[in-house]
Amino acid sequence: MSYRLYPLKNTVAFRKTTEKWGGLSNMAKGYPLLINGLPIQSSEILYQACRYPDYPEIQKAIITQGNPYEAKQTARSFEAKTRSGWEKNRVSIMKWCVCVKLCQNWDTFFALLDSTGDYDIVEHSEKDQFWGASKDSEGNFYGMNVLGRILMDARGMARKKGMKGFTTIPPLHLDNFLLLGEKIRDVTYVTPQPKTGQSLSLF
């Protein structure tokens, strides 16, 4: 992945989940997932859990956190136990997580993606120029913006294939692609939100 310049006038940028384009963030609420029958609050939590397939207890600690920020901090505390090949495969895993988010939240997430038009999508980050991009002295964005590029690819694919192209997301062909000791199965469209007054329990 190379660094790119994204002119401000051609860009849809997201930084905080509460902002207009905040739903594009992996940290955003309102896009719940269901993997192997287990409810997972956000695509960020799923991504962090994928880092530790050999340690179900670490995955459990991650996916039972109340929000993605806490889950990310929990994941960071176990970095020494990161799966082999993580650096090589993390972009593919992130693409899979975004596709899962789109599959299981088609109505809301595709509508948001589609509303960005043909603008470049950029994750604005002053700390991370790999997943995002930071502003230069002229207010334009500069960075690898890998997450933004994944979102743009997903937007294009979703427009081309429609909902039928995202009804089933197969697991990645990676060794030990596991969740809580079980192989991750095909992800299909569901409505994982509990009814009012009910709650979902993991265990």
Banded model confidence at residue 196, pLDDT cuts 50, 70, 90 = very low
Q: Which of 197, 195, 178 is nearest to 35 (CA)?
A: 178
Q: Which of 89, 99, 100 is nearest to 53 (CA)?
A: 89
pLDDT in tens, 7-49: 999 999 999 999 999 999 999 999 999 999 999 999 999 999 9
For position 121, what pLDDT does the model report? 98
- How many C-beta atoms lie closer than 10 Å to residue 56's C-beta? 15
Q: What is the pTM of this model?
A: 0.91
What's the distance, CA 197 to chain centroid? 28
- How many C-beta atoms lie closer than 10 Å to residue 107's C-beta? 10
Q: Which has the higher per-residue pLDDT, 194 or 83?
A: 83
pLDDT in tens, 122-131: 999 999 999 9
Name the CATH superfamily housing domain 4-186: YbiA-like (1.10.357.40)
Place of tokens 């789109």: 102
60, 180 contact by CB (below 8 A): yes
192, 39 contact by CB (below 8 A): yes
Q: CA-to-CA distance for 136 and 143, rounded, in angstroms?
A: 10
